Amino acid sequence: MRLVPSRISYFLLHFLALCFQAQVTIQSSPNFTQHVRDQSQVTDQVSRRLIRTYQLYSRTSGKHVQVLGNKKINAMAEDGDVHAKLIVETDTFGSRVRLKGAETGFYICMNKRGKLIGKISGKGKDCVFTEIVLENNYTALQNAKYQGWYMAFTRKGRPRKGSKTRQHQREVHFMKRMPKGHQAAEQHRHFEFINYPFNRRTKRTRDSASR
């Protein structure tokens, strides 16, 4: 059976259309991993920012990071100390954060000499840290402006210069902990009954459940 020229042209055009569609699909597929990496380096001005509250337990000093009223920062606070409570604001949809003392309102920042300082405004990149979860489950905080420089404290709880830090050092290892008493309050709030409007049927269901 011989194909007429019109049918040959139809099959040829159909084949070319499929080839073109496949080529467009391959070229236009986005590199999502690269997109996430790029966006994680840019301050998020669109999404709602997540705000958390926690304490930072220092692996070396055995105490918690605190931001004092004189803008000094150390890791000498006991569990539950008011100056150890940190408000953590997300800077991007990734893991970059700003840490602020809940009691004093000062942000933890790093100057060009690698020294930790407190600032009333945390808008600069020197006040942004990247949370890095390590293999030993501790967290390291790398400064966004000074790459390779980490928040670190000595055994006595004194700040160590960022220029002298490395990710494998114990001085840069922290554990995030809920403030003392905060966890119990959250659990209590979670189990509280919410007074939604209900009809007779939902009332009967609640009464039977209480029995």
CA distance 2 to 176: 77
Q: Is the pLDDT of residue 118 over 90?
A: yes
Predicted pLDDT of residue 22: 58
Backbone angles phi, psi at 110, to 5 degrees: -130, 130
Which CATH code is given to the segment(s) 51-179? 2.80.10.50
Residue tagged 């905060």 (tokens): 182
Question: Cβ distance 172 to 141 under 8 Å?
Answer: yes
Displacement of CA 2 from its chain's centroid (Å): 68
In degrees, to the nearest 5, what angle opens at C-alpha 163 toward C-alphas 160 and 166? 80
Predicted pLDDT of residue 50: 83
**Residue bearing the bigger pLDDT, 207 or 10:** 10
Mean pLDDT of the region 59-84? 96
Count of C-beta atoms within a 10 Å radius of residue 35: 10
| Arithmetic mean of pLDDT over the chain | 79
Mean pLDDT of the region 117-126? 94
Mean pLDDT of the region 160-172? 97
Mean pLDDT of the region 178-199? 51
The one-letter code for the residue type at 143 is N
The domain spans of the chain are 51-179
**Gap between the terminal Cα atoms of the chain:** 83
